[in-house]
Structure 1
């Protein structure tokens, strides 16, 4: 009898780049890939096309969290990363309470944007900041 899989409620996740802990985040979007395909019309076969995969494209990754007094100033970290560019290794760790339930390793990570909060005194929503990264692929650890 196959083992039952347990559904995990994700409340947050951590992000580290080259071993530097950037803190806890509440949202991660676009952890995705797509395969580019060339369509080839084969001679003599007129009822269908052949599809040949060519390369994998990885979507830019966006992580979001409430603005806080964490030790890492993300805006400053992104600016420093641009001044001294390097391809880094990142890790996203999904947390269920304090327990790690899933990890993804990111290759050739480079920050490309930081977005600060929309400030509106009439809005009671938390002030959020986000970082956007490009990367050269990921795998589940």
Structure 2
């Protein structure tokens, strides 16, 4: 397979939940899946295991960015989302390249915010104050380019 013509540099991510933009984030972890398998020993010698897929698991998705004036609004949104009767939300996360063009996008299924974390408040640290929003979901799939 020939190498890509261009090596893409991704510097930020956009997140949309039910059509509402949550803005731009500088970090995203948890966009992953794992297949849980059952190992079955096959044959009379029991030396050739067969792996049967059992289920797919998805870790929580965590996005982070520097604190802004809107950060209190997002912490309140997470609280209100879980206090109401939770309903399945749809989501979309996009890796943004040059000119904020979406390089790759994934659709998230049955998204629910479960945590908001603010910065550790320590004026001596000299680091950027960050916020994180954590979501659980029931899977994702690549969104085809339009």
Give TM-score scaled by structure 2 length. Answer: 0.89
1:99-110 mapped onto 2 (5 Å cutoff): 99-110=101-112
Tell me the residue number matched to 1:68.
Answer: 68
Alignment of 1:68-107 (within 5 A): 68-70=68-70, 73-84=73-84, 85-96=86-97, 97-107=99-109
Counterpart selection for 2:119 from 103, 117, 131: 117
**Structure 1 runs of 4+ with >3 Å offset:** 1-5
Work out whether residues 93 and 102 of structure 1, in 8 Å CA contact, stay in contact via their aligned partners in 2: yes
Q: How far off is 1:42 after superposition?
A: 2.7
Identify if the C-alpha distance between structure 1 residues 22 and 72 changes in structure 2 by more than 3 Å, giving closer, same or farther: farther
User: Which range moved further: 71-80 or 119-128?
Assistant: 71-80
Structure 1: state its 5+ residue gaps.
none
Q: CA deviation at 1:106?
A: 0.2
The Cα shift of 1:2 comes to 5.3
Q: CA RMSD in A?
A: 1.8
Deviates more, 1:64-73 or 1:83-92: 64-73
Using the TM superposition, give the Cα deviation of residue 100 of structure 1 relative to its aligned residue in structure 2, in angstroms.
Answer: 1.4
Which residue is 1:50 aligned to? 50
Query: 1:49 aligns to what SS in structure 2?
Result: strand
Aligned length: 141
1:83: Cα distance to partner? 1.4
* Cα displacement (A) at 1:72: 7.5
Q: Using the alignment, how far apart are the partners of 1:98 and 1:31 within structure 2?
A: 20
| Structure 1 counterpart SS, 2:48 | coil
Contact 1:27 1:64 in 2 (8 A): yes
| CA-CA distance at 1:58 after TM superposition | 0.7
- d(CA) in 2 for partners of 1:21, 1:72: 16
Change (3 A) 1:41 1:99: same
Show structure 2 runs of 5+ residues with no match: none
CA 1:61–1:18: 2 relative to 1, 3 Å: same
